[in-house]
Structure 1
Amino acid sequence: MSKISNLLIAATSSGSGKTTLTLGLLRALKNRQLEVQPFKCGPDYIDTKYHDLASHGHSINLDLFLSSPDHVKQLYAKHSASKDVCVTEGVMGLFDGYDRMQGSSAQIAELLDIPVVLVINAKSMAYSAAAMLYGFKNFYKNIDVVGVVFNFVGSESHYHFLKEACKDVGIEPLGYLPKQADIEIPSRHLGLSLDKEFCFDHFADKVASFIEKHIDINRLLEITKQERPVVSLADKKITNKNLKNAVAYDEAFNFFYYENIEYLKELGDVTFFSPLWDKELPKADFIYLPGGYPELHLSALSENKSMHESIRNYIENGGKLLAECGGMMYLCSSITDKDGNVYPMVDVLKQNATMQQMRLKLGYRSLSYNGQNIKGHEFHYSKIANAENSISIAKIYNAKGIEVDAKLFRYKNLIAGYTHIYWAQLDLLSLFE
């Protein structure tokens, strides 16, 4: 059986630099002409977009709240089948899950038997790193922490102390990243920035060069080499129904799980369209309006009246449409920006979305609807200004099973809400029954 390098880049806490290391490593491996497959622990749909840009591939979410262990194993084996290297970016700290370790990077590493490479923020730290490394190596024996990369290192002599800590703990030091402002990723209010002004290719190549200089990539690939995962039988057989599926995809709408789109391809054809620039919907049996950054394109979205009319006609005539977060906001009567300016929208949902007095709503969601337990994730700053006038068709709970005030709306065959649903294991069409 052939071998493949598998590694999970984890951290002691958020902000340690695992995303920067992951992106630079993905680009460095691509520049070496290696076939690399990126993965992301957890529900994040923005980090995966950066993975796509860095690797010129498709990053896959591995999430044990949204999906079953068998589904995660199937995804990992399927997408790694023809690759040379698999790089999985962790979420938060290594052991941080939605309930203790549940849903954590460590749980993914254990399930898939992936070697772990730690990233540690070493600013203002020397030999004390030994105690931290010892704890992360020995806290949970069912995972294998094989190496460490230190970030924000002040000098070569600083790194010498850190290497001594590694030696005494038995974890291999793989290099360090000095503090350098121009390899830090700019941020926006909703996760990482996807601004056009941010030249990602130039940034990725710069970080890749930086990592090639400071990290022993050859050794990293050597100590993480394993037997290639075996592709098992698919956990769900989907029957092709020859459906025509249309997915909104442009600067305003682009947050979706790759595997959801793969599911639609199993149902039939998938066409992409732009609510920003196209004048009408394509012919379709099912429309998907994902989340994104509609608040950054309010004028253009509001002015495209012919698309509004096309969507209204589709819905009024019984067309099936699922809208999530930003897609749901677009279907409201209006969206108010943070300065109080009101922009008319599609006006199918008789409610108003607003960016004023922004407060973060974040977390896993379980939706009890139509006899199904639907899993998803919520991450937004906007709100529905007159939500008290709208009735939810589902009971919605957080990861602890506590009911939350989120809602799922329905009008004819339109289903809409703030939750980003993971439907790769669902009977999607049964939602509309």
Structure 2
Amino acid sequence: MTYTSNFLISAIASGSGKTTVTLGLLRALRNRGLNIQPFKCGPDYIDTKYHVLAAGKESVNLDLFLSSESHIKYLYNKYSSDKDVCITEGVMGLFDGYDRMNGSSAQIAEKLDIPVILVLNAKSMAYSAAALLYGFKNFSDKINITGVIFNFVASESHYNFLKDACHDAGLEPLGYLPKNTDIEIPSRHLGLNIDEQYRFDDFADKAAALIEKHIDIDRLLSVTAKRESDAGVIKEINVPLQGLRISVARDAAFNFMYHENMEYLKRIGAVSYFSPLHDKHLPESDFVYLPGGYPELYLSELNNNRTMQDSICHYVEAGGKALAECGGMMYLSSSISDEDGTEYAMVNIFDQKATMENMRLKLGYRQFEYNGVLLKGHEFHYSSIKSEQQSVVQQYTAKGQPTDTKLLRYKNVIAGYTHLYWADMDNLMDLF
């Protein structure tokens, strides 16, 4: 039998401060020497990078659109079984899903049977918080909201009003974070260089110090303690070993990858990593994966590394199998233009031009069928593509509405903006 603390940090809405609370708690518990495990609801691959830096442990995505209920239960059991504390960061507001509650943080908390700690932005609010908290607590009897952490609190006196509201709503106040302009999560282009990592460490340490001072961590761990029976041996997902030589692009320009996708690749072959920025040649490969990232920040370096571009061209022309997503797809275009319109030559597998001019965010879940395989993923980018090339499939939103998101194919290369989740698939190689 093991005793662990498991909880999900959610909020009334985005912008409430759940990421700051999550990262501060991860760093504070790490500083205490506890064995912690972070998780992230939804498809976000940037928050998981924050988690790694704060906790020193890989963070795992839990997503009920991208994967099945059995898969997220498998993942949670796999990574939580030997940990002291498991913290799952929610996405958006507690009940916000891709279709009502479907795919929401609340649904994940329900399926995993873990309590919820609610973060409430208390700026310009006092006893009225009781009505909000009461509504959230009683909206669904399937969700166990255990306690509340208040953010942007003006003073101890302000917190006393909020505590009254919390008690009268039937919830336990666990502390607060004061208004503090000194702590701010660094740029979303996190981890690109050593200076950014130092900045993040400073942020995480300051957030942890505030949490130690203003939040009752011991009480938080107590009210979220959960007695669990021994689950026995966790069964790995049955994926046939194929003995493939798998090469994954990983450097400052290409680093958006789901942790469990990489674990899947390790089960079907031998994974090695290469850098399109710095390496001269592609490793000997049976399959190449070019994930998303920040190629737009390294256009000159990518442009100048012609030997790597030539190596990838030779691999593709010889029939090599490859999957390129978002930034990886941009890299395989004929060129990428920066925000000013300056054009840099790229690998030129696809006759199209990527550009950062007139940046506009495009995001959302995507689903489609290709070669008899149902695929799901997430689109998130600011760039755009200039191309007349036709998509090989029609992609759809989570609600089944058609989108103009393309999937491209040249020989044995598949590419597109959609970040695919294949860790819950039978055989990724069926795509080719």
* Shared fold (TM-score, shorter chain, > 0.5): yes
1:70-123 per-residue CA deviation (whole Å, 9 max, x = no partner) reads 000000000101111100000000000010001000000000011000000000
8 Å CA contact retained: 1:238, 1:267: yes
1:400 to 2:399 alignment:
yes
Q: Which amino acid counterpart does residue 389 of structure 2 have in structure 1?
A: S
- Which residue in 2 is equivalent to 1:120? 120
- Which residue in 1 is equivalent to 2:53? 53
Report the CA distance between 1:182 and its aligned residue.
Answer: 2.0
- Which residue in 1 is equivalent to 2:415? 416
Matches within 5 A, 1:265-280: 265-280=266-281
Matches within 5 A, 1:218-297: 218-228=218-228, 230=231, 234=235, 236-297=237-298
Q: Which amino acid counterpart does residue 178 of structure 2 have in structure 1?
A: P
8 Å CA contact retained: 1:74, 1:232: no
Report the CA distance between 1:187 and its aligned residue.
Answer: 3.6
Report the CA distance between 1:236 and its aligned residue.
Answer: 3.3
Q: Which amino acid counterpart does residue 394 of structure 1 have in structure 2?
A: V
Matches within 5 A, 1:176-215: 176-188=176-188, 193-196=190-193, 197-198=195-196, 199=198, 200-215=200-215
Q: Which amino acid counterpart does residue 430 of structure 1 have in structure 2?
A: D
Report the CA distance between 1:373 and its aligned residue.
Answer: 1.2
- Which residue in 1 is equivalent to 2:300? 299
* Structure 1 CA distance for aligned equivalents of residues 310 and 289 of structure 2: 17
Q: Which amino acid counterpart does residue 96 of structure 1 have in structure 2?
A: D
* Structure 2 CA distance for aligned equivalents of residues 231 and 390 of structure 1: 51
* Structure 2 CA distance for aligned equivalents of residues 231 and 41 of structure 1: 25
- Which residue in 2 is equivalent to 1:373? 374
Q: Which amino acid counterpart does residue 420 of structure 2 have in structure 1?
A: I
1:152-176 per-residue CA deviation (whole Å, 9 max, x = no partner) reads 0000000000000111111110100
Report the CA distance between 1:235 and its aligned residue.
Answer: 7.1
1:32-54 per-residue CA deviation (whole Å, 9 max, x = no partner) reads 11000000000000000100111
Report the CA distance between 1:234 and its aligned residue.
Answer: 3.9
8 Å CA contact retained: 2:78, 2:234: no
* Structure 2 CA distance for aligned equivalents of residues 98 and 241 of structure 1: 35
1:138 to 2:141 alignment:
no
8 Å CA contact retained: 2:7, 2:224: yes
Q: Which amino acid counterpart does residue 19 of structure 1 have in structure 2?
A: T
* Structure 2 CA distance for aligned equivalents of residues 231 and 269 of structure 1: 28
SS of corresponding position for 2:395: strand
Could you list the runs of 5+ residues in structure 2 that have no partner in the other structure?
none
Report the CA distance between 1:201 and its aligned residue.
Answer: 1.8
SS of corresponding position for 1:392: coil
Report the CA distance between 1:241 and its aligned residue.
Answer: 1.6
1:159 to 2:159 alignment:
yes
- Which residue in 2 is equivalent to 1:35? 35
8 Å CA contact retained: 2:77, 2:234: no
* Structure 1 CA distance for aligned equivalents of residues 346 and 376 of structure 2: 28
- Which residue in 2 is equivalent to 1:355? 356
* Structure 1 CA distance for aligned equivalents of residues 394 and 236 of structure 2: 27
Could you list the runs of 5+ residues in structure 1 that have no partner in the other structure?
none
* Structure 2 CA distance for aligned equivalents of residues 412 and 195 of structure 1: 33
SS of corresponding position for 1:52: helix
8 Å CA contact retained: 2:41, 2:105: yes
Q: Which amino acid counterpart does residue 34 of structure 1 have in structure 2?
A: L
Matches within 5 A, 1:13-32: 13-32=13-32
Report the CA distance between 1:195 and its aligned residue.
Answer: 4.4
* Structure 1 CA distance for aligned equivalents of residues 177 and 241 of structure 2: 49
Q: Which amino acid counterpart does residue 265 of structure 2 have in structure 1?
A: L
Structure 1 stretch displaced more, 128-137 or 222-231: 222-231
Structure 1 stretch displaced more, 209-218 or 154-163: 209-218
SS of corresponding position for 1:91: coil
1:200-245 per-residue CA deviation (whole Å, 9 max, x = no partner) reads 2222112111111111100000000112373676473012122111
- Which residue in 2 is equivalent to 1:64? 64
8 Å CA contact retained: 1:248, 1:290: yes
Would the alpha carbon gap of residues 255 and 16 (structure 1) be closer, same or farther in structure 2, given more than 3 Å must change? same
Output the aligned Cα RMSD.
1.2
* Structure 2 CA distance for aligned equivalents of residues 287 and 202 of structure 1: 36
* Structure 1 CA distance for aligned equivalents of residues 168 and 232 of structure 2: 39
SS of corresponding position for 1:114: coil
8 Å CA contact retained: 2:126, 2:158: yes
Aligned length: 427
* Structure 1 CA distance for aligned equivalents of residues 244 and 386 of structure 2: 36
1:237-258 per-residue CA deviation (whole Å, 9 max, x = no partner) reads 0121221111111100000100
* Structure 2 CA distance for aligned equivalents of residues 238 and 312 of structure 1: 30
1:352-379 per-residue CA deviation (whole Å, 9 max, x = no partner) reads 1011111111000002211111000000
Structure 1 stretch displaced more, 32-41 or 230-239: 230-239
Structure 1 stretch displaced more, 86-95 or 280-289: 280-289
8 Å CA contact retained: 1:363, 1:378: yes
Which 4+ runs in 1 deviate beyond 6 A? none
SS of corresponding position for 1:396: coil
8 Å CA contact retained: 1:71, 1:235: no
1:322 to 2:323 alignment:
yes
SS of corresponding position for 2:182: helix
